[in-house]
Amino acid sequence: MGAPPMEIDVILNPAEIALLPQRDLSNATCVVFDVLRATSSMITALAHGAAEIHPVRTIEEARELKLRVPDALLGGERQGDPIPGFDLGNSPFEYRERSAGRRIISTTTNGTIALRACELARRVLVGAILNLSAVAEELGRSAAEQVILICAGTFADFALEDAWAAGALISKMKAGSLSDSAQAMAALVAHRSDPASVLRGAKNGRALIAKGREAEVEWCARESEWNIVGEMKSGVIRRLEP
């Protein structure tokens, strides 16, 4: 007999994410998307030699962990802006320039909370448009049976860019069973195939462009730029080696 067909579900907003710790995730592979910009910055960091990334929920937790890991860089954002006293904000360009060989402690409004909500899952992978093909290949290679795509959202709201990324990943996989939300995300990508256009038109994209950060939006829209997968184990993200 062959492997059981893959089942794919999509979590679309922070209210659903808050319920994940109550679910049995022991057989689930979770893929977390916060395209603008947390997971895109994480994949950029790993692509440029970051040793590991510690996603934490709060600023206080980040500062406490820094005491135990004094050589780590503190990075993150609140309201989209850098946190006072931190080494890095949430721009992928900062992580491109300063990540080589470094450990990074990261806290963001939605992305790191979504990652930690999945920590009891069988596996947790970091997803972005930048590494869509690599994540799809890893899911296929591992013969994952239950896949949950987590759209981190913005504050308490749905985020179009995360949903598009989830749908684009679905389009790259052979799934035996799609939930209603997964079918809807696949249909979204079939209707709007250009990630740069989607990100520019999304609420987060428009907000970043208004702040002069259009180059960051364009960077995060680069599809399958790197053959890199980040995996979180015991609260630490590292590049998954072949």
DSSP letter string, 192-232: ---HHHHHHHSHHHHHHHHTT-HHHHHHHT-TT-----EEE
Three-class DSSP labels, 70-106: CCCEEEEEECCEECCCCCECCCHHHHHHHCCCCEEEE
User: What whole-number distance in Å separates Cα of residue 148 and Cα of residue 161?
Assistant: 17
User: What whole-number distance in Å separates Cα of residue 235 and Cα of residue 223?
Assistant: 27
For 161, list phi and psi in degrees, rounded to 5. -65, -35
pLDDT digits (tens, 9 = 90+) for 45-103: 999 999 999 999 999 999 999 999 999 999 999 999 999 999 999 999 999 999 999 99
Confidence of residue 12 (pLDDT cuts 50, 70, 90): very high
Q: How far is residue 62 CA from its own chain's centroid?
A: 19
Please say whether the beta carbons of 111 and 39 come within 8 A: yes
Average pLDDT of span 6-21: 97
Mean pLDDT of the chain: 96
Please say whether the beta carbons of 8 and 184 come within 8 A: no
Q: How far apart are the first and last CA of the chain?
A: 27
Domains of the chain: 7-226 (3.90.1560.10)
Closest CA to 161 of 206, 195, 211: 195
pLDDT at residue 4, rounded to an integer: 74
pLDDT digits (tens, 9 = 90+) for 100-129: 999 999 999 999 999 999 999 999 999 999
Whole-structure pTM value: 0.97
